[in-house]
Structure 1
Amino acid sequence: MKTLSKYDFNIQPKPVKILQFGNGNFLRGFTDWMVEKANEAGVFNGEIHVVQVHSKSGNDTMKDQDNLFHVIEQGLKNGELVQEYQLISCIDGITNVFEDYQNYLKLGENPDLRFIVSNTTEAGIVFNPNDTDAEAISQTFPGKLTALLYHRFQAFKGDESKGFVFLPCELIEHNGEALKSCINKYATLWKLPMAFSEWIDSSCTFCNTLVDRIVPGFPKDNIDKIQEKLGYEDKLAVMVEPYHFWAIEGGDSIRNEFALDIAGLNVKYVDDLTRFRTQKVRILNGGHTAMVPYAYLKGLRTVRESVENPETGSFLRTAIFEEIIPTLDMQEDELKAFANDVLERFANPFIVHELKSIALNCISKFKVRVLPSLLAYHEKKGVWPANLITAFAALLVFYKGEFNGEKIPVNDDPAVMKQFQEAWKLASSRETVNTLLKESSFWGEDLSQHNGLEEAVTNAVDELISA
């Protein structure tokens, strides 16, 4: 089978405008795919140079394929089955920091560079105070980035037009601000000139962003059929769901340079990410967390079958549309559209998402994702939301570790699991619920103080156990 080569596709070179830190499945199936779409639509004219900051060996597969690969969209879109193939040709090259550090620094001398994109995992944006040698390769991504920025600052003699727009995709709140903070700390630690710090402040823009797309990665189960259809071997093919969303805090000033939405992509340029983050946490993540224990107790094992099952599917829809959405102070039509997208994503026939994998650390997830909706509903309506109460009860029963003679795969902090085991040894379900609701280390407060909550949860627990 043929090897991918740019000679076969008449690919015209473009200026390298983006430096991308990270080359994992997510960035290739999200950012690289978007840039390819924007280039095709004529709203962007640029390529990406990839930087490897963690691996100490280069990506030979990427080089062997002439920096080409395919993104395969598989799933549901507006109720229709989608299976589309997109060749990604916007990668100019790849540099490994450890293999050639000086060449890495010289990347900063490119006058066309404008954007920095990164996804170095949630633990990637960190500052290490022991990273004291400015001449050595830093141990962290922000340290390596600071070295490149200082090299650029020197190369262009502090030219204010040569600053960057930073678009970190790491899944932490205020990711842009966190990255800037780390860079400033390295500038101080390394005693870099004050003029450099002033250049960072005045010439660089650090955007907080929120990304959303499920990227299962390499489609190993059906890669032979995919390659047969493509006519090429592709060891870097990436499977993605059709849904994608990128919110970029920065408004029109960023959109004027990087107008991905004009290419038909689901990208929002906003002044404040808060409502989009809340929407995602409460509806998408909250829906997941509310559904999992309940569906598992009903004998279901995957997200898709839980959504398609008449009982659990109805349970989830009612929880989202009648109990979660009414607690959110946002445009109702936007919330409902987002919720419908979520349900369609949950029903993706190409993704096998096991409930037990989502159930990891479910107590802390429930506290952040579901509990705020449950409490807000009661505050607003004066009654407890029936399905979210049932979801809460199912969570407590799930953490018993056994249901109807079957062992449940609870996976959480050992101390949390031990507290649940002890609580379930008490004489009655009411005592168990009372003990667990009082545990403020779980919920951030003593939930037994909320009028009627203990009774509502106890009744729901009894109903689940006796069913």
Structure 2
Amino acid sequence: MKNYKLNSENLSAISERISIPKYDRSKLKTGIVHVGIGGFHRAHEAFYTDQLLHNQNITDWGICGVALLDFDTKIYNTLKEQDGLYTLIIKELDGTHKKQVIGSIVEYLFAPEDPIKVIEKMASPEVKIITLTITEGGYNYNEATKDFDFNNSLIKHDLKNIFTPKTIFGYLTQALKLRKERGLKGCTIQSCDNIQGNGHMTKRMLLSYVKIAEPNLVKWIETNVSFPNAMVDRITPATSESDILMLKETSGVDDAWPVVCEPFRQWVIEDDFIEGRPAWETVGAQFVANVEPYEKMKLSLLNAGHSVLGILGALIGYSTIDEAVHNENIKTFLNNYMNIEVTPVLGDLEGINLSEYKTSLLERFGNMNIKDQIDRICSESSAKFPIFILPTVNSQLKKNGSIKMAAFMVAAWAIYSLGKDENGKVLNIKDALKLILDIKANAAKENPKAFLEIDSIFGNLIDATPFVDAYTSAYKNITTNGVEKCVIEMNNNLANNN
């Protein structure tokens, strides 16, 4: 089988092997700038938009993908060489693969190379929406102060070097300032990250920055920019070399960076777009008045569930999420955590069958074809725990409810942060706070409470005696007996009490 390099020139030949865009990409205008063109964006928003563009009458919603950070060089070069095209490989539960070329990204910019070009693109009159996948840590929120972190060295740089910013806040501020100065209309800034109230968070963090950087711009933003909340969901593991090879061998498509994902997808969006929006609802998105119940459910169950499986699985020595969930002891622990600690604090979820949702999560986690890497799930846990797990803890503490399993998870994370699994194998810890995590994790060997002193993560949780007691007990138990024995003991205690 002849191999074809994925690019516009070879699309016709590739179309004989796999599905390709049926629309004329040369006629598309860039209506959306998206910052953060990693795997999730390409499996989610870019996929929805690609499906929408197959309606030949729609030409206003092409995407300009922005690679914001220095280490995004590879994805930028890949998209540039492939004319913005990439292959989406959907891995079904039965082991079959659905492959299609996505064409909705029609422009691509590398911010470190030409920051002014990115600012100008964001300020372009044809751009109506700026969307973001900048990860939970990208919002520069300090859990202890509940506010914007002006101590961040990158923020200090942006305040002094307004035309060569390094953070999203520097770019957005200068782009919106240009729109105001040129008498242009505003736009919508839409977060696609796993943060409850992600639109509210985006607005609050941006305005915090603007009040210092460009105070005269605040009122204009409040009047001319909207920040809809959204809940996003599609498990998208990191692409492996075997995925690239499989695509080439089975389809003859030479794609340097395809995206793999599960079949499930969900996008629930608050309908608050100040200058128009794509009709994403025609391809499966939901537009609602209030996203909060969906967000809370997904963050507290799916994302927290991922962290449970990731941290516990990493300590035992697993490398993928499906391995962890197929350990019946860990699966039972996760099920107990979802039922006993999370469900009681979710409130009224009208129109949602919570029991079915939790069952579906366990099935999705167990998809052996996805092979979602535990490394990926555990990365940046310092940004994930305050969003996925600690809100459940705080809600339960207010009602004197159960926090033992969440405390066990924090203890397991503290031990994970020492950098080795229970077999002595070195763990690949990727975290912006890796240095402080290492210091506090080592201090916790003598005094377990030391780990809870990271107030940017835990806030004042160290003052909550019931949690500290449960955490300290769990830490000592895991250290003495190992994760799985502790999990079995907790499961048995719950079963006997019921």
Range of TM-score over shorter length: 0.7 to 0.9
TM superposition shift of 1:68: 1.3
Q: Alpha-carbon deviations, 1:146-169, whole Å to 9, x = none?
A: 2233333344xx24xx22111123
Among 230, 234, 237, the residue aligned to 1:213 = 234
| Structure 1 gaps, min length 5 | 425-434
Classify 1:23/1:324 alpha carbon distance in 2 versus 1 (closer, same or farther; 3 Å).
closer
Residue 232 of structure 1 aligns with which residue?
A: 253
Distance 1:366 1:272, change over 3 A: closer
Cα pair 2:418 2:442 within 8 Å, conserved: no
> Which secondary structure state, in structure 2, belongs to the residue aligned with residue 417 of structure 1?
helix
Shift of 1:232: 2.8
Which residue of 2 is the match for residue 70 of structure 1?
87
Q: Distance in 2 between matches of 1:101 and 1:440?
A: 34
Residue matched to 2:220: 199
Equivalent in the alignment of 2:369: 350
Deviation at 1:17, TM superposition (A): 1.0
Is the aligned partner of 1:35 residue 2:52?
no
Q: Determine whether 1:94 maps to 2:96.
A: no
Q: Match of 1:169?
A: 192
Alignment of 1:443-454 (within 5 A): 444-445=461-462
Q: Equivalent residue for 2:492?
A: none
Q: Secondary structure at the match of 1:221?
A: helix
TM-aligned CA distance change 1:438 to 1:95, over 3 Å: closer
Q: CA–CA distance in 2 between the matches of 1:202 and 1:337? A: 41
Identify if the C-alpha distance between structure 1 residues 108 and 324 changes in structure 2 by more than 3 Å, giving closer, same or farther: closer
CA contact (8 A) 1:290 1:391 kept: no
Could you say which residue in structure 1 is the equivalent of 2:343?
325
Q: How far has the Cα of 1:113 moved from its partner? A: 1.9
Q: CA deviation at 1:347?
A: 0.6
Q: Which residue of 2 aligns with 1:336?
A: 355
Secondary structure at the aligned position of 2:54 is classed as helix
% identical aligned pairs: 23
SS in 1 for 2:353: helix
**Which whole-Å CA distance do the structure 2 matches of 1:363 and 1:125 have between them?**
13
Q: Is the contact made by 2:238 and 2:373 (CA closer than 8 Å) also made in structure 1? A: no
SS in 2 for 1:422: coil
Alignment root-mean-square deviation, CA: 4.9
Deviations 1:269-319 (A, max 9, x none): 34353x333323332244345556766788866432332344443443344
Distance in 1, matches of 2:118 and 2:379, equals 39
TM-score of the aligned structures, taking structure 2 as reference length: 0.69
**Residues 400, 41 of structure 1: CA spacing in aligned structure 2 closer, same or farther, 3 A cutoff?**
closer
Specify the SS of the correspondent of 1:222. helix
Deviations 1:383-406 (A, max 9, x none): 869x94995699499679899x95
Is the contact made by 1:30 and 1:244 (CA closer than 8 Å) also made in structure 2? yes
Q: Which has the higher contact order (CA 8 A, sep 6+)?
A: 2
Secondary structure at 1:113 match in 2: coil
Distance change in 2, residues 1:297/1:201 (3 Å): closer
One of 405, 410, 417 as aligned partner of 2:441 = 417
Unaligned runs of 5+ in 2: 13-21, 141-149, 490-498
Equivalents in 2 of 1:400, 1:125: separation in Å?
23
Whether contact under 8 Å (1:3, 1:233) holds in the other structure is: yes
Structure-2 separation of matches of 1:269 and 1:64: 38
Q: Is the 8 A contact 2:37 2:67 kept in 1?
A: yes
TM score, norm. by length of structure 1: 0.73
Aligned equivalent of 1:277? 295
Secondary structure at 1:84 match in 2: strand
